[in-house]
Amino acid sequence: MCLKARLEFLGADDADLGRVTEKIASSRLVDFHLEENRPAERRVVLSVAEHGMGCGCSFLRKSFSWRGPFWALRVPGRRLLAGVVRDVLANTNRLASFEARWLGPEHLPRTATQVSKASLLNAIEQGRVKPEVRYEIRPVA
């Protein structure tokens, strides 16, 4: 059972996405892992983890419940995750959604909610990321 902090990207330029994630990985000491690649849909999903970790469980406090109203993210983990998302948003307009998803034998039904970039960053920074919610970034009009 693991926590996956997942970033969904839409668009065609995978080389550009590679450059962006390499830059962020080296400056933030995180690793990006390919979760899904669907070229026909022009969709890529990456998960982010602290360097050397395979999943996002290290972002969590030692005591947590995936059934709680919010993920119990450690303060340094929240800051790191918010910084990564902020850097991604500053370097590409391809980010379509973010979710912190529990991968295990049991999990809650997944829901989606539309948010602004600022609201997403605030939720991460304030430790208000809900389990099993996919935060879809509203396009700027």
The pLDDT tens digits of the residues spanning 25-51 come to: 999 999 999 999 988 888 999 999 999
Is residue 86 within a helix (H) or strand (E), and if so which, with residue range?
A: helix 75-91
H/E stretch holding 6 reads: strand 2-10
Quick check: 137 and 120 in contact, CB under 8 A?
Answer: yes
Cα R_g (the chain), whole angstroms = 14
Short-list 24, 32, 28, CA closest to 6: 32
pLDDT in tens, 91-119: 988 899 999 988 876 666 689 999 999 99
Instruction: For 44-86, write each residue's pLDDT tens digit.
Output: 999 999 999 989 989 998 877 767 889 999 999 999 999 999 9
